[in-house]
A = this chain, B = another copy of it.
Amino acid sequence: MTDALRPGQTIGILGGGQLGRMLAVAASRLGLHCHVYDPAEGGPAAEVAARATTAAWDDEAALRAFAETVDVVTYEFENVPAASLDLIESIVPIRPNRRALAVSQDRLDEKDFLRDLGLATAPYATVDDAESLDAALARIGAPAILKTRRFGYDGKGQARIMAAGDAASALAAMNGAASILEGFVAFNHEVSVIGARGLDGAVACFDPGENRHEDGILRETTVPARLSASQRTDAVLLAAKILTELDYVGVLGVELFVTHQGLVVNEIAPRVHNSGHWTQDGCLIDQFEQHIRAVAGWPLGDGARHSDVVMENLIGDDVDRIPQIAATQAAIHLYGKAEARPGRKMGHVNRLTGPAR
């Protein structure tokens, strides 16, 4: 544990949403303080963090003051402007590193990175205008999905193209943003691997979970996922390959399609991931603590799972069911958000389904 943070030192977290909230709680268990930076006041993380700064992403004085109070910076939000990160990095290390962030911020760069690593992805092509979209559709075929290269999440910034006639409206939906056309992958189901790499290069993965989405938003993760033994090994090796290639420090989520031809990488997220929330109640050391351990230079947990779990997201007014859910044997994790808007992640629930199989 050379270079490791000692209890009493401070981790800076960019972004003060529910992921930051759960990271801050995990850090507190290790005696580490957190300082959360977010442009919005009163977000989920501030309540459980030692300190919070409310300031814009381009507020240089605030960024500098924040960086000077912390011993390392991590993030729960990928879309922090590069100039802000440059300023922070001139003062204090950022983990995971900038390359991991850059790759995952841009769908085209991410696909190129994965392809160069020899990993399977959906067929894809860059789209800048009607002409390049036509060419892309001619090569990839329909159905396909047009996505902005940057700033998309939970199905936002996406348009389906079921037939060539949908191309114009899909392109209009991109609002002129640089985009990428992805072919549909005929998959049986989706799984994700939550992997972690320590400052010492050690890698540990949690068992893959099987994800069910609704309207582009994760609805449920079930662990263990339906995977053959060799698929399970492939999933872990693939995650380790990505982590090592990026010289990554922290937790990374890798979404995978399970197809008859093997595993196809859907996307990677350079942070703790919604599909890893089951680890809070299925593992001794969960993804949040794992991430904190990594960025603090501590040894990682081994990822061992003691129980099988089903994680259900509470979205929008799902949260009105809390009285009923509380009457069952379920671990409730609410994010402290006052207002339940449609599509807003309000919390999640973990249910144990037995000892780990």
A78 CA to B4 CA, complexed, in Å: 38
Q: Are B334 and A31 in contact (CB under 8 A)?
A: yes
Are the CB atoms of A355 and B355 closer together than 8 Å? yes
Residue contact B31 to A48, C-beta cutoff 8 Å: no
Residue A336 contacts which of B25, B28, B285 (CB distance < 8 angstroms)?
A: B28
- Say yes or no: A299 contacts B285, CB within 8 Å: no
Q: Which single member of B21, B322, B331 contacts A284 (CB below 8 Å)?
A: B331
| With contact pairs A322-B7, A355-B355 given, residues A28 and B1 touching in the complex (Cβ less than 8 Å) | no
Indicate if the CB atoms of B33 and A352 lie closer than 8 Å.
no
A321-357 interface bits toward B, Cβ cutoff 8 Å, 1 = contact, 0 = none: 0110011011111111010000000010010100100
Chain B residues contacting A306 (CB-CB under 8 Å) are 306-307, 352, 355
Docked-complex contact B323 and A8, CB < 8 angstroms: no
Asked if A293 is an interface residue, CB under 8 A from chain B, the answer is yes
Contact of B323 with A4 in the complex, beta carbons under 8 Å: yes
State A329–B284 Cα separation when bound (angstroms): 8
How many copies are assembled? 2
CB distance B47 to A326 under 8 Å?
A: no
Query: Does residue A218 face the partner (Cβ distance < 8 Å to B)?
Result: no
Beta-carbon nearest neighbor of A309 in chain B? B284
Instruction: Identify which of residues 43-66 in chain A touch chain B, using a CB-to-CB cut-off of 8 Å.
Output: 47-50
Contact with B along A1-43 (1 / 0, CB 8 A): 1001001100000000000010011001111010000000000
Of the candidates B21, B30, B307, which one forms a contact with A332 in the assembled complex, judged by CB atoms under 8 Å apart? B30
Give the distance in Å from the alpha carbon of A350 to the alpha carbon of B333 in the complex: 21
Q: Which of B25, B50, B298, B327 contacts A326 (CB 8 A)?
A: B298
Closest to A323 in B: B1
Contact of A334 among B4, B30, B334, B336 (CB under 8 A): B30
A264, CB-defined interface residue at 8 Å: no
Min C-beta distance of A203 to chain B, whole Å: 16
In the complex, A29→B326 CA distance in Å?
12
Q: Is the CB of A47 within 8 A of B28?
A: yes
A-B contact pairs, 14 of them (CB 8 A): A1-B323, A25-B28, A28-B47, A29-B332, A29-B334, A30-B334, A31-B322, A31-B334, A31-B347, A33-B336, A284-B330, A285-B331, A299-B326, A306-B306
Partner-B contacts on A (CB < 8 A): 1, 4, 7-8, 21, 24-25, 28-31, 33, 47-50, 281, 284-285, 293, 298-299, 301-302, 304, 306-307, 319, 322-323, 326-327, 329-336, 338, 347, 350, 352, 355
Query: Closest 6 interchain pairs by CB?
Result: A31-B334, A1-B323, A355-B355, A299-B327, A47-B50, A48-B48
Known A-B contacts: A8-B336, A31-B336, A299-B326. Give 4 more (CB < 8 A). Answer: A7-B319, A21-B28, A25-B48, A33-B47
